Amino acid sequence: GSHIAAPDPEGRGLEAAIRVALADAEVGAADVDFVSAHGTATPLNDRIETAVLKRALGARAARIPMNSIKGALGHTMGAAAALEAIMCLVASREGVVPHTAGLEERDAECDLDYVATAPRAARPRVSLSTSLGFGGCNAALVLEGDAR
């Protein structure tokens, strides 16, 4: 059975949210420069999210820097998506992508470019932020920053 706090094992809702967000923003996977992953550091969530990002972004997914700020801030629940969106815009403005605090040992199934150990110089123009909520509430937001 499933639990209200567990994500869909196939990630269908998150994948649909990503595809709708890209279409609404009139950008494609090739335009995405950075992903702020929901990234709860739980095996179930992170594996599903990685698989969904691979499906939604295709081969490009492996070349996009990604992070999660939950390791630094904790899971701020209802504020998480807003803080992640702000971080995307600040990364674009400041030219640096924060690292994923606490990411030391990677799961073999989470094999994308998760920025670990230190911030990375990057000035993303188009960022994708993903959010998963209890009961299957999924959201994705595309943000265009002021990359100069």
What pLDDT shows up at residue 5? 66
What pLDDT shows up at residue 2? 64
What pLDDT shows up at residue 89? 94
Are 23 and 56 within 8 A, CB to CB? Answer: no
What pLDDT shows up at residue 50? 92
Are 113 and 124 within 8 A, CB to CB? Answer: no
Tell me the average confidence (pLDDT) per consecutive run of 10 residues in the chain, 148 residues long: 67 94 97 90 82 96 92 74 92 93 79 92 95 83 81
Distance CA 115, CA 67 (A): 6
Distance CA 23, CA 5 (A): 28
Q: Whole-model pTM?
A: 0.89
Domains along the chain with CATH numbers? 12-118 (3.40.47.10)
Taking residue 127's Cβ as centre, other Cβ atoms within 10 Å add up to: 25
What pLDDT shows up at residue 30? 96
The structure tokens listed for 60 are 């490009």
What pLDDT shows up at residue 107? 76
What pLDDT shows up at residue 95? 94
